[in-house]
């Protein structure tokens, strides 16, 4: 938790309690359903929570913004972002039912009123549009963008550096993946935002039409 407070300080007492509760909740759920590797549980706040919050460092989502977390897994980046932005609406989806069960359990235990969940593939989302899609390395950029375009609204949303589109967290050498995607994204090095060793090859990838 200390590493979160190293970079963010303006939290309400409710937000602080929610962030503090994350480790115990994920340890408890991980005993039943393994959604986070054993070694990563000990580094939960750095490798999962702070990693997710890198998006909050570059995008100032306005109240009532509608955000889809595509392939949320155990709830990242959606749950940390939902704690950070309590007036923003998050819809967390994953095609694996047991992962959504964990997300629902954690969300309910935290009392997050701005989170909905669905055991679904993004291609099956009909009659609903979002301002932003977020994702954490669940597929190649080209696929993420192809899945995101049909569910994105046409109107833009105000933000610090970003309006409407896809924000994904990725690592490693992305040159070939970007070339194959046909997308011309903007890359932000997370190490420049949070200078921690584990973020040296991690990026925020911003793609918009």
How high is the pLDDT of residue 160? 46
Mean pLDDT of 66-91: 97
Is 74 annotated as belonging to a binding site? no
pLDDT higher than 90, residue 48: yes
% of the chain surpassing 90 pLDDT: 81
Known binder of ligand: residue 186? Answer: no
What does each C-alpha distance from 157 to 14, 132, 162 come to in angstroms? 27, 8, 8
Q: What phi and psi values does residue 182 have, to the nearest 5 degrees?
A: 75, 5
In whole angstroms, give the CA distance from residue 1 to residue 92: 23
pLDDT of residue 137: 73
- Ligand-binding annotation for 76, yes or no, is yes
Contact predicate 49/80, CB 8 Å: yes
Residues 6+ positions from 142 with CB-CB distance below 8 Å: 177, 180, 181, 182, 183
At 161 the pLDDT is 47
Q: Where are the domains positioned within the chain?
A: 2-207
Stated pTM of the model: 0.94
71 annotated as ligand-binding: yes
147-162 pLDDT, tens digit per residue, is 999 999 876 555 544 5
Average pLDDT over residues 18-40: 90
Q: Considering the domain delimited by 2-207, tell me its CATH architecture.
A: 3-Layer(aba) Sandwich (3.40)
Check: CB of residue 18 under 8 Å from CB of residue 49.
Answer: no
Is 87 part of any known ligand binding site?
A: no
Mean of pLDDT values over 85-95: 97
pLDDT tens, 97-156?
A: 999 999 999 999 999 999 999 999 998 998 889 999 999 977 999 999 999 999 998 765
Q: pLDDT exceeding 70 applies to what percent of the chain?
A: 95
Q: What is the mean pLDDT of the chain?
A: 92
Please give the helix or strand (H or E) that residue 44 lies within, else none.
Answer: none
């Amino acid at each position: 938790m200390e590493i979160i407070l190293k970079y963010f300080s303006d939290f309400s007492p409710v937000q602080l309690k929610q962030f503090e509760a994350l480790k115990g909740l994920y340890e408890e759920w991980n005993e039943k359903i393994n959604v986070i590797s054993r070694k990563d549980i000990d580094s939960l706040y750095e490798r999962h929570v702070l990693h997710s919050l890198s998006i909050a460092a570059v995008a100032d989502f306005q109240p009532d913004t509608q955000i889809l977390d595509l392939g949320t897994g155990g709830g990242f980046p959606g749950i940390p972002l939902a704690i950070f932005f309590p007036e923003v609406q998050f819809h967390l989806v994953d095609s694996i039912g047991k992962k959504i069960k964990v997300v629902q359990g954690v969300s309910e235990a935290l009392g997050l009123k701005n989170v909905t969940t669905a055991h679904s593939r993004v291609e099956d989302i009909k009659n609903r549009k979002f301002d932003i899609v977020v994702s954490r390395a669940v597929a190649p950029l080209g696929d993420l963008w192809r899945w995101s375009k049909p569910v994105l609204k046409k109107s833009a949303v105000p933000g610090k550096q970003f309006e409407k589109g896809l924000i994904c967290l990725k690592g490693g050498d992305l040159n070939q993946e970007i070339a194959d995607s046909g997308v011309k994204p903007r890359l932000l090095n997370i190490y420049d935002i949070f200078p921690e060793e584990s973020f040296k090859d991690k990026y925020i990838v911003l793609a918009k039409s």
